[in-house]
Amino acid sequence: MAVTPKIALSGVTKSFDANHVLKGINLTVAPQESLVIIGTSGRGKSVLMKCLNGLITPDQGSIKIDGQEILGQGQAALEDLRRRFGMTFQFGALFDSLPIWENVTFRLRHQQALDKNEARDIAEQTIIQLGLAASVIDQYPAELSGGMQKRVALARAIVDKPEILLFDEPTSGLDPITGGVIDRLIIDARERLGATTVTISHDMASVRRIADKVAMIHNGVIIWAGPAEAMNESGVPEVHQFVHGLAEGPLTNEKPAAAPAKMATS
Partner 1 sequence: MHGFVQNTGRTALNFLAAFGRITLFSVTAVRWIFTPPYYWQQLLRQTIDIGYFSLPVVGLTTLFSGMVLALQSYTGFARFSAEDTVATVVVLSVTRELGPVLAGLMVAGRIGASMAAEIGTMRVTDQIDALDTLSTRPMQYLVAPRLLAGTICLPFLVLVGDVIGVFGGYLVGVYRLGFNPSIYLARTLEYLEISDVTLGLVKAAVFGFLIALMGCYHGYHSGRGAQGVGRATTNAVVSASILILIANYIVTTMFFGG
Among 30, 55, 128, 236, binds partner 1 (CB under 8 A): 55
In the bound state with partner 1, the residue whose beta carbon lies nearer, of 141 and 218, is 141
Residue 144 per-residue DSSP state:
S
188 Cβ neighbours under 8 A, 6+ residues apart: none
Enumerate residues 201-230 that contact partner 1 by CB under 8 A: none
Nearer to partner 1, 252 or 265 (CB): 265
- Of 155, 19, 166, nearest to 81 by C-alpha is 166
Residue pair 194/161 in contact (Cβ under 8 Å)? The answer is no
> In b/e form, how buried is each residue of 62-84, taking b as 16+ CB within 10 angstroms?
ebbbeeeebeeeeeeebeebeeb
Burial track 196-232 (b if 16+ CB lie within 10 A, e otherwise): bbbbbbbbbebbbbbbbbbbbbbbbebbbbeebeebe
- Contact flags string 111-150 toward partner 1, x per CB under 8 A: x---------------------------------------
3-class SS of residue 165:
strand
Candidate list 156, 190, 209, 213; residue touching partner 1; CB under 8 A:
156
Of positions 117, 252, 253, 266, contacts partner 1 by CB under 8 A: 266
* Rounded least distance, CB 47 to partner 1, Å: 12
Distance of closest approach, residue 133 Cβ to partner 1, in angstroms: 24
What does the alpha-carbon distance between residue 202 and residue 75 come to, in Å, rounded to a whole number?
33
Residue 23 Cα to chain centre, angstroms: 20
Of 17, 96, 248, 254, the residue at the interface with partner 1 (CB under 8 A) is: 96
110, 157, 168, 17: CA torsion to nearest 10: -20
Shortest Cβ distance from residue 266 to partner 1 (Å)?
6
Query: Residue 26 or residue 89: which is nearer to partner 1 going by CB?
Result: 89
How many of the chain's residues bind partner 1 (CB under 8 A)? 28
The verdict on 255 binding partner 1 (CB under 8 A) reads no
Shortest Cβ distance from residue 27 to partner 1 (Å)?
Answer: 20
Does position 2 bind partner 1 by CB under 8 A?
A: no
> What residues from 69 to 88 belong to the interface with partner 1 (CB under 8 A)?
79, 82-83, 85-87
Burial per residue of 9-21, b for 16 or more beta-carbon CB atoms within 10 angstroms, e otherwise: beebbbebeeebb
Task: Give contact residues for partner 1 (rule: CB under 8 A).
Answer: 50, 53-55, 79, 82-83, 85-87, 89-91, 93-97, 106-107, 110-111, 156, 261-263, 265-266
